Every structure is written in C-alpha cells, then in structure tokens.
Chain A
Amino acid sequence: MNAQAETIAVTPTQNEESNESLLQIRGLKKRFSLSGDFLEQLRFKGGKLVRHQEYVHAINGVNLDIKRGEALCVVGESGCGKSTVARTVMGLISPSEGEIRYDGQRIDNLSSKQLLPYRKRMQMIFQNPYASLNPRMTIQQTLEEPLRLHHPDWSRQQILDKVEEVMRSVGIDPDWGKRFGHEFSGGQRQRIAIARALAVDPEFIVADEPISALDVSIQAQVLNLLMDAQRDRNLTYLFITHDLAVVEHFGTRVAVMYLGTVCEVATTATLFAKPRHPYTQALLSAIPRLEDDRPQHIRLTGEVPTPVNLPSGCVFHGRCPYANARCKQEIPALKTQDDGTRVACHAVEEGRL
C-alpha cells in the first residue's frame, strides 16, 4: 500500500527525533463480522447454497505516531472508528491487519501473558464512569486491584500507601475508600477511574471520551486533573473525543478521522488556524460558539455513509463540496504539506482547495 510507504518516507522529515515516538500505528485495519456463525452465513441464491459474509469496516488503514509527552487527540463523529483505534491500541480487541508498536516493540500479536508488562505502562480511562467501576467493589478494592496484579511482591503496607497517595493526587478523600461506586457523583467517579489508571504509574494513557458524560462545570475539573497529571507524571495521552473545544485546549496534535480513515493530522494550533481537509473545515465551522455573529457554517449535505458498504475512492466524496471524478475512484493518501500538516485529500494535493 503506498500510504504505508508514504508514512515511512515522511516520518523523519516531519519529526527529526522519530525514535521519540512512543506508539506507532501502521496500516491498522479492523473489521467486525455482521454475519454471525457459519450456519447463519449460508443463503440460497438462484437455487444454490452460498456463503454470504458482511463486515463493518471500522478502521481502514490508519497510520499514526504518538510522541512521548504529547497529547494526541483523535476527533471525529460517531461511527468514525476513533474508539476502535483506542481499544485496538490497548489490546482489548485485536486488529484484522496492521501493526502496533509500543516503544519499538510490536504488541498487537502478543499473548495476554506477554502483554502484562505493557499493560502496566499503558492504562485506559473510559467514557462512562458509571459502567467502568465494579459496583460490588469498594473504592479501596478498586484501586488496590491493579497494584496487586502488577506488583505481586509488594507488602500490604506498600499497597495501602500507594493507594492513599494516588487518591490524594486526584483530589479524593482517602476516607472514601470504604464506600462503593454508586455513592459518588459522575465527576467523583471519573476521578476514581483516573486514580485507578494512575495507580500503577503508567507512562501512556488512552482516554476514550473521558469527560463527555459530565456536566460543564465538572468537565473543567476533570480536564484540569488530566492536565496536572500529564505535567507531574510526564504522561503521554491518546485522547479520543468528539468535542473540538476540548481538543483545542488540551491537544498537542490532532488527528481527524472520518469513516475509519485519518483525513488530517496537524498540530492543534495549525489545525484550528488553517484546517485543510474539507471535512475538518466543516467540522470546525459547526462548533456552536459564544460569539455574536452567526458563523458561516459549512453545511454538509447527506449523512455519514455506513461502514458496511464503504464508498469507493475518498470516503468523504459523497458529502464533499469539492469532489470530482478522481475523488470517486482513487483513495487519497496522507500527504505532508509545507508546515508539517498531513492531509488526505485530492483537492488539497492538486491545489484546488
């Protein structure tokens, strides 16, 4: 695939310290079968028995690098595959194709035993703090569990000290340890989930929409907490969100996804100042702002196509105001622009846009 050759050629120029990247995603693909088991796949067609298989193409060839110490935000609308990327990186689901390298080591094909040391270094925070805490465990038990798993040699006192330290660092009272998850509000639960992720001193955190379920005033608290943790512990984030205002504030770099492919990668400042891809432009213009003037938002026509039957060519061509014949046939590859932004768009490449 030439997109793959492209990234290998491109990485050193856009980033002199390419060995600095903590996580490398190469040609990642994931499809989920919709057809059930073998017997359910059998159909009669024209009097013959045929096997019929259908897939959801959740990710179609994603290449991304996450550098040490940065917060890479992945944005996109529902169904664009951003959560699938997060889960594949964490090894919660295995990719159909492609490679994931963590600190130079390939991790996508490891057994769960081999993966254990990596699991200590990478942790995940989920969207819904109501679902991600075990309702039958006290907060103390919830926070002790990862420590017992990853530090089997630690004494009881060491574990207790660590739990107390991590509780204080996220601003929850150590006396809450005896209580259960349901006794807390959404914001407090998300703090507990963050404490659980930080307990094993990870270096890399995947956060999948960590503040989407929270109220505005609580969102600010949790976002501040995540930024403090990044500064104090030198964390690297893969931050999945659909909220562009959060991205603008939090992200070092942004990857915009559409229908399972990355359409633009840029530093946050560049992306917001000068969005290149027509989809990014539409997305940015759609944020409701506080300012007086009704913004000229770019109205996209149509809906996001289903990832079951992917459109030919550029996945965005059906809604794109700049699409031409080439866009309908040829899949655009991510090409690096002068300022280091990488855009997958024929119109940008040809200078039509």
Chain B
Amino acid sequence: MALLEVSQLDVRFALRQGEVRALRDVNFTLERGERLGIVGESGAGKSVAAFSLLNLIAKPGFIAGGSIKFEGKTLNTMSERGLRKVRGNRISMIFQDPMMTLNPVLSIGEQMVECLKAHRRISTKEARGIALDKLRQVQIPSPEKRLDQYPHELSGGMRQRIIIAIALLLDPDIIIADEPTTALDVTIQAEIMALLLELCEQHNVGLILITHDLGVVSQVTQRMLVMYAGRVIEQGPTREIINDPQHPYTQGLINALPQMATPGEKLNQIRGSMPSLSNLPSGCAFHPRCDFINRADGQPRPACTQQVPDFVDSGNCRVACHMVAEMLEDRRLKEESL
C-alpha cells in the first residue's frame, strides 16, 4: 500500500455563475521517501491539488468526489479533529511566501514551541530543545539567537529555512511544498532546494513539490505530474518526461524554455493562452493551442474537439492525448500484423 493514494479527485468551486471544476480525475500515489513534482502554469490547478490533500480548500471550494488515502485512512471524509492529528504532524506544508506563513507578532521560538505543544505533551523547555535542534539541521547561523527573534528581523532565505525547520518539527512522513523558492533569488533558491532535498533523503520524508519551474522539478523529483486546466495530462518518471515528453503541451512547455533554443533564434512558443476554467473548450482542453489535432493524412481528428481524452499507458508514463493514443494503437496493430 502506498503511503498516500489519491484517486479520482474532483474539486469544484460553487460560484455565483455556476460550478467551476478546478480539478478532475487526478490520480497519483506517493511512496515513503519518494519525491513527486506537480508542474503547470498559473491556473492549472496545482495549488488546489496541494491544498485539497489536507482538505484545506476554503469555501466556496469543496471536494466533490474521489478519495485521498493516507496510510489507508481516507482524509477527505475525516473529522476536523482527526485531520488535526495529520496536518502539520504527519503531513506538513511549506508555502510560497515565508512572510505570510510566519506570524509577525510571535518570535520564532514561540511559533515553534506552539506547534510542538499542539501535537505532543511536552514541556516548553523540551520543545525549545527540539526547535533548536531543527534550526541547526537547516543550517541557520547562531540558532540560539534566532529563537528569540521575530520574522521581520530575518531575510527571505533565512525565513524560508525557518519554515522548513517548522515543517520538519514533528518528523512528518510527507512535506507538501507549494512553490517554496519562487519568491527567492537564484543563489538562495539553489541553497534552499539543496537543503530540502538533503533533509528529505536523510529522514526518508516524502516530498510533493509544486512548481512552475521545470528545471527545479527535474533536479529534485523522481516522478512528476503535468497539469493543464485542472487535469493531469501526463505523469510518470521525471527523467523520462523531461527527456521524451509525449503530450504536445509538455513538449511545448519544455521547448519554450530559452535553454532549448539556439541563442538569438526564435523561441518555440505555444500560441494562445490557457483557457479559464469556467469556459473550457470542448473535447481536449488543449486542442485550440495544439499543433497535432490533424491526423497523419492531414484530416482533423474529430476526437480532439469532441471527447475528453482518457489516459493511455506509454511506457512508464501515462498520457491523456488522442494523438498519442492513436499512435500507440497504430504501433500495436502493426506489431500484431507482423
């Protein structure tokens, strides 16, 4: 049994204009100590996916279907009390903006002790000891001093280190990190990512890393999901997807990176932009931007505009694309006739 098992997750937002489906048919598993990346552009649903894992979706959003199982227990039907034992304790989160996550009127030490005492029956002194130990693990200079400092006294990189220390405080099984380095500079980003990776490996903690940066995902994770307009469109081992993307959107996303083009030449852009979730195109949501909606013989493939593609297995990856499905089918028929 996988540590975390998400199946057929369906998240909707009940808006005045009607229901918007922010997430549909999301399926994935996470093993102990595994690192999974969720990639997509803004509005693709990656943060909604992260928040829904801990049932943190705020109204008007709600989980309309599917299940999230952690060690066999279904999280999305669990009581608030039960969830509180999981949140922060077994599964912790790191958010994008460290200033928003830390409480500005409490010292670092107070916040860490508060978190420990909420989950364990220990004395303040013991809690401070654990906090100090975690601050040492995230390599903060003079950790004793930091316990009595306030968030505004620290730099962005330092704050994010403290967030990581807090996330590790209760020795969780999984850390969900939502764009943990987006607000930071490149050199600081590299340090923080290296630290996070090192700590996850050391303590055998599973990591779900949400980011728009394909470079970061390819450096850190073992498996990845690519999201587009609320659906997962491709998932599989990170290396295989980066080296040989199957879905036209994933291909477009990787080819659009400046490092994939000859300097000075035109970049391979994807035309158009992501549709709004309240007004999705029919069939495959990507079809208006896709270059592969025609068959090999030049005729348009009706399925692309009419039918939402199902997942097909292509090697170790799963892809939701009619073109890929057709290609695999052709190959299978050819092999059969041989």
Contact = CB atoms under 8 A, between A and B. Distances in A.
Interface in A294-326: 294, 297, 299-300, 302-304
Given A217-B41, A249-B261, A292-B239, A224 B186 contact: no
Interface in A245-261: 245-246, 248-250
Interface residues of A, number: 41
Interface string B137-172: 000010000000000000101100000000000000
B27 interface: no
B187 interface: yes
Nearest to B289: A217
A78 B274 CA distance: 29
A215 B218 contact: no
B267 A290 contact: no
A217 B157 contact: no
Nearest to B157: A303
B214 to A, nearest CB: 6
Contacts of A103: none
Contacts, number: 113
A299 B195 CA distance: 11
Contacts of A289: 215, 218-219, 259
A97 interface: no
A216 B266 contact: no
B270 interface: yes
Given A217-B269, A220-B269, A286 B256 contact: no
Contacts of B193: 288
B115 interface: no
Contact of B42 (A215, A286, A294): A215
B189 interface: yes
A164 interface: no
A269 interface: yes
Contacts of B216: 288
Interface of A: 77-78, 185, 187-188, 215-221, 223-224, 227, 242, 244-246, 248-250, 268-269, 282-283, 285-292, 294, 297, 299-300, 302-304
Given A217-B270, A220-B258, A287-B215, 15 more contacts: A187-B273, A215-B273, A215-B274, A216-B41, A218-B41, A220-B267, A223-B267, A242-B185, A249-B261, A249-B267, A269-B263, A288-B190, A289-B215, A300-B187, A303-B155
